[in-house]
Amino acid sequence: MTVKEIFETMEYGPAPESAVEALSWLVDQGDCFGQFIDGQFTDPGASFDAINPATGEVLAHLTQATAEDVDAAVAAARKAQPKWEGLGGSGRARHLYALARLLQKHARLFAVLETLDSGKPIREARDLDVPLAQRHFYYHAGLAQLMEVELPDQRALGVCGQIIPWNFPLLMLAWKVAPALAAGNTVVLKPAEQTTLTAMLFADICRQAGLPKGVVNIVTGDGAVGEMIVTHPGIDKIAFTGSTEVGRRIRVATAGSGKALTLELGGKSPYIVFEDADLDSAVEGLVDAIWFNQGQVCCAGSRLLVQESVADRFHVKLRARMDRLRVGDPLDKCTDVGALVSAEQLARVADMVAANGAGAAHRAICDLPAAGCFYPPTLITGLAPSDPLMQEEIFGPVLVSTTFRTPAEAVQLANNSRYGLAATVWSENISTALDIAPKLVAGVVWVNAANLFDAAAPFGGLRESGFGREGGSEGLAAYTQPRATAKPLAPVVAMPAGRGGPVDPVDRTPKLYIGGKQARPDGGYSQAIWSKAGALLGQAPIAGRKDVRNAVEAAQGAAGWAGTTGHLRAQILYYIAENLSARAGEFSHRIDAMTGKRHGAREVEAAIQHLFTAAAWADKWDGRTANVPLRGLAVALKEPVGIIGALCADEAPLLGLVKAMAPAIALGNRVVLAASEPFPLAATDFYQILDTSDVPAGVVNILTGPHADLAGPLAAHLGVDAVWSFSSTALSAEIEAAAAGNLKRTWVNDGLAHDWFDADLRPFLEQASEEKTVWVPYGA
């Protein structure tokens, strides 16, 4: 064979990795694993098999945890938590560092075990999964070390329940365990039933590292065990990675429980190739985007959008590359594509593709092993954007493709998805790439690259890809809570009906404020608002479901607000403050009359302060450049959430409304505000201020009426991106359950009071923004 022929055929000889060490480690552990609770393995019980999907061979037996096991794990975690947190950041850092070191020392054992258990190529387990898991522990050792200085007002949440999937078993464990431990929490983790073995090895490492008992507990089994964790009353936070369907179920199951929740769910991420892209590199990028881990990646670039002018040429190159992918034995170091995780997953992928009648499918020319869960790399072209294969997550080595003509059309097609996890843009023109990246609805955007990850860069989704970020200081924050404890919030009730006549003989009929206009409520009802002395202060409209819809529609019409500059938004907030200040006396009297208290003047003054503070932040709530080990930039941008519905504080009728509104609009969000239920007239006066302050129509919409009637429609509305509740009516459960529909973010008070005079707007700014990490690797 000549050198030329060798290059052309690219034939590789077999280069198998030995499984001897990993298999003997399994033998040493005995026939069946128990649970890892309170620092030791329990006796095995009713078991299920750990299967090598590449061969069908049984690797080990695992125990399906019982409710008693979960109870014991939670109790051990609870007992260990105060002492673990009490070790302080530097004490915890030592332990995290020890875990990182041991992961490094046993790197090859972890990699081989992962490959045996999951079917992923050893090259990926060895070069990506395991090093990234180590990096996560090192990075979080550092975050723990710095926590007391950097986050002096934050403390741990307590006990965290963590449920992870089978596509990156060890890496997802690291993503969950490292930040939780760094922040001072203890954990009960459940690996996926298909891939539990590296979690068992990690348990062994915890013992070797001398991690205090009960800090990490691992229970094994299927979704039923996951459900036990989710509903366990002894758990303070649930962190889940997996399917959108199960994520939605978890959102409903935890609604109203007060448990913190982060969800990292599915995706159908667009991979956009512009005509000026380096097409060969873009083809190579696609190999990493969709054939990495057999396409079983939540952020896989599974939807190719290629510009029409280069589509044919690109598809030819792509098919040629696909036919060169080496599919087969995952333990062979030359293998590109290994086995799918299980026979069920193989059947699911095959069924989805078989149901496709419309597209033209190219299956890579390759010799599939006779047995095992193998599926050939596949490309399906010519699909309509609405085709189920263009919309649904396949979670296998199957790429779907369509074309676009203009950049605007590319953005429209890319965003035509219920998901919003990741996106890739290929263009040699930096202006094109950086113009498109911010327009994509995605938590992560890669420019001329795919599937780059690092512990320092926030990762997470929008829409039905879930909420919350993992990685970076943002990821750590999701495992903390304020040190200050909040007091319970007593229901705030309206003044009883009096007998006096109207205070103001000239009727100033308050209305709803929708789309920059005053609007009568659709239902045609109003509610009398009385002063403490029994005088009639006014009639506030009672808004209903239709008014919520109108308000959301008006907010949708004001989408341009997100594209305005922080400078401009600051000017408008200063203008609102100025106009409020000019009418301070009038507002203060109104508040005193409604509440029967004498803090109106203080409330107005604090509202003016909050407007100034929000204006100050409008052009200073900056993103950051994440310090990733890569030649290039990973920029964590702060973007507005979109449309936020807020049930405003009952007890602080003006201040509560302003404190919710001002930070939200400062960052480019639009809001639908349900005013204080018992004291709504400060809000209906306030829209006159908005009217005279150059606030564009639809940016702020104000409704009045019972919170219990408005919460459900707001939380269930698919056009609303986040719902906040500061109401004194108990609505957390209803809101969180209704929000499961489109998995919108929620921020509810769980019956606890907020100090509306507190000048710190940062918690509001955090809730009003989303991180988007844009990766731009260097390279000429």
Q: Which residues are catalytic?
A: 264
Q: How far apart are CA 443 and CA 273, in angstroms?
A: 19
Name which of 166 and 621 has its Cβ closer to ligand NAI: 166
Name which of 39 and 466 has its Cβ closer to ligand NAI: 466
SS3 228: helix
CB of 221 to ligand NAI, least distance (A): 7
Name which of 292 and 587 has its Cβ closer to ligand NAI: 292
Give the strands of the sheet with 159-163, arranged side by side: 40-41, 36-37, 216-218, 186-190, 159-163, 237-241, 260-264, 466-467
Number of helices followed by number of strands (H, E) in the chain? 27, 34
Q: How far apart are CA 718 and CA 730, in angstroms?
A: 23
Instruction: Give the residues across from 526 on adjacent strands.
Output: 541
45 burial via Cβ count (<10 Å: 0-12, 13-18, 19+):
middle
CB 689 within 8 A of CB 705: no
Name which of 246 and 455 has its Cβ closer to ligand NAI: 246
Name which of 227 and 592 has its Cβ closer to ligand NAI: 227
SS3 340: coil
Q: What is the DSSP string of 588-605?
A: HHHHHHHHSSS-HHHHHH
Say how many C-beta atoms besides its own lie within 10 A of residue 602's C-beta.
14
Pairing of strands 624-625, 536-541: unpaired
CB of 600 to ligand NAI, least distance (A): 49
Name which of 80 and 246 has its Cβ closer to ligand NAI: 246
CB 269 within 8 A of CB 235: no
Say how many C-beta atoms besides its own lie within 10 A of residue 362's C-beta.
19
Q: How far is CA 245 from CA 265, 435, 742, 748, in A?
A: 9, 33, 11, 23
CB of 352 to ligand NAI, least distance (A): 9
Q: Which residue is nearest to ligand NAI (CB)?
A: 226
Name which of 61 and 249 has its Cβ closer to ligand NAI: 249
CB of 734 to ligand NAI, least distance (A): 21
- Give me the half-sphere count of Cα atoms (radius 13 Å) on the Cβ side of residue 401: 24
CB 250 within 8 A of CB 241: no
**Matching residue, tokens 């994520």:** 247
Say how many C-beta atoms besides its own lie within 10 A of residue 508's C-beta.
12
CB of 157 to ligand NAI, least distance (A): 19
Question: In 3D, which of 362, 391, 394, 397 has the Cα closest to residue 377?
Answer: 397
Pairing of strands 270-273, 303-307: parallel
What does the buried/exposed string (b/e) look like for 170-203 if buried means 16 or more CB atoms within 10 Å of the residue's CB? bbbbbbbbbbbbbbbbbbbbbbbbbbbbbbbbbb
Binding residues (CB under 6 A) for ligand NAI: these are 163-167, 190, 192-193, 222-223, 226-227, 230, 241-243, 246, 249-250, 265-266, 298, 345, 348, 393, 395
Question: In 3D, which of 359, 336, 341 has the Cα closest to residue 396?
Answer: 341
CB of 235 to ligand NAI, least distance (A): 12
Name which of 219 and 519 has its Cβ closer to ligand NAI: 219
Name which of 248 and 670 has its Cβ closer to ligand NAI: 248
CB of 181 to ligand NAI, least distance (A): 20
CB of 735 to ligand NAI, least distance (A): 21
CB of 377 to ligand NAI, least distance (A): 17
